[in-house]
Amino acid sequence: MPAPVSHTYEYPRPALTVDCVVFGLDEEDLKVLLIQRGVEPFAGRWALPGGFVRMDESLDEAARRELEEESGIRPGHLEQLFTFGTPERDPRGRVVTVAYFALVKLSAHVLRAATDAREAAWFSVWDTPKLAFDHADILNTALLRLKGKVRYQPIGFELLPPKFTLTQLQRLYEIVLERELDKRNFRKKILAMDLLEELDEVEQDVAHRAARLYRFDHKKYRQLEKAGFNFEL
């Protein structure tokens, strides 16, 4: 028989959930992962994956569990985003949510909806359906965080395949930042950081001239970061 749950005090208090904004990237678009809710409230509506935090798990554990249960995704990069606690945000009652954002490589994940999610799918961040709860606000907050952070931390590499071209890298920044970048200046700046390992490989099965492939040196970046290196694009 399980032990009774102790309560700090008798008064009503909010419930706690986690919601996750998961970004992925294809050749021309930034994507966000959404699940179609199978239960009320908002049954049939699209929403961010998430759910209630269990008594025996941390917030990070809850976020990872909900992501895997509702979509089959296990993100590499996952971080806390913000806390949303508007009293009327959830029709079930007083619910506070801790939002997370994650970055994944699209080709590395096969979506698999389960538990209370009818379906899981990728949508363009610029063209999402009407979202349940306050998830549109959460998505916008995550997008602003990504736009800012991608310029001063190399988190953008989490969206690329392990081996990529300089064109793919530049396109990543152009898609996220929503503006064109000067090719010469971009390449000069990124190569000067000496964080890309040039591989003895080129693109395969492309109609144009095959470009050189590169790989981001995570180990070298961690060493430079400890020494005070500032990544900025």
Q: Would you please indicate which residues are annotated as catalytic (active-site) residues?
A: 119
Q: What are phi and psi of 100, to 5 degrees?
A: -125, 160
Rounded to whole angstroms, what are the CA distances from 160 to 24, 27, 108, 114, 213?
9, 10, 10, 27, 12
Question: Under 8 Å CB-to-CB from 8, ≥6 apart: which residues?
Answer: none
Q: Which residue is it, tokens 């931390």? A: 153
Residue 173's H or E segment, with its range, is helix 166-177
Asked if 139 contacts 131 with a C-beta cutoff of 8 angstroms, the reply is: yes
Cis peptide before 41 (omega within 30 of 0): yes
Q: What is the SS3 assignment for 37?
A: strand
Q: What is the rounded distance in angstroms from the CA atom of residue 193 to the CA atom of residue 182?
A: 17
Q: What is the SS3 assignment for 68?
A: helix
